[in-house]
Amino acid sequence: MNKEELKEGFRNAGVREGMELEVHSSLSSFGYVEGGAQTVIEALIECVGSGGSIFMPALRLGPPLELTDEDRKMGLTVKIKVLPEDAPRTDMGIIADTFRKRDDVVTGEGIIRTSGWGVHAGKAAEVGLDYVIHNGGKALLLGVDIYKLTAMHYMEDILPKDISDIFASSEEILNKYPADEWFTEAGEPPVKPWYTIQDEAYRRGLIRDGLIGKCRYMFFDILDVVSIYRKALETDPYTLYGVSRR
């Protein structure tokens, strides 16, 4: 694909000038793109224009690493290395990593960071995705699904502790893998709760999807979709996560 084909695809998906846009992506999902990640970014920028903003994840996390027998005995289910602030590659994907390194992009601090471009780029450093969630922002998922939508985590301040404890690492794990150097989890629910939210959003007609070249995209209003998650956490989080109340 070339830039003009990408721009046509993004506009057909619903991207408009002046839009606040949260993007999560997989470059390989497009097949071959002339100019690679930079071309995808430039196409997005030209679609939202100077009056819009683009936000992408900039988490300082590498890919999940293989667990050892000792890890499994401790109960580990996930271990991920926390990377240096200037790490050239992360597990966010080459598009997000290329975006983060642009001179006209602002990136927040800490491990769980957001990068922003455009008229409200500074909000990425100030409040992460909170601005785009609550100011009419749209999400564009390119070759990925709802499990890459960082905005979902912004609803989890009301997640019951006995559910969050499912993932909590023991003192033994944290002694071996300190939280400032590693992201770890020591459990998983019996179901994938975010897919329940994605299915409900589809049922309500909130998600538009299709193909841009070979890339399957999803496009939707962020608040509309994450509010379904928020409501489920408020009303019946245990059914959503497939667990019994402790």
pLDDT tens string for the chain (246 positions)?
999 999 999 999 999 999 999 999 999 999 999 999 999 999 999 999 999 999 999 999 999 999 999 999 999 999 999 999 999 999 999 999 999 999 999 999 999 999 999 999 999 999 999 999 999 999 999 999 999 999 999 999 999 999 999 999 999 999 999 999 999 999 999 999 999 999 999 999 999 999 999 999 999 999 999 999 999 999 999 999 999 887
Domain boundaries defined on the chain: 3-61+88-158+192-238
Are 148 and 198 contacting, i.e. CB atoms less than 8 angstroms apart?
A: no
How many Cβ atoms are within 10 Å of 245's Cβ, its own excluded? 10
For residue 159 the two structure tokens come to: 């997640």
User: The whole model's pTM is what?
Assistant: 0.96
Q: What share of the chain is helix, strand, coil (3-state, %, to 5)?
A: 40, 20, 40
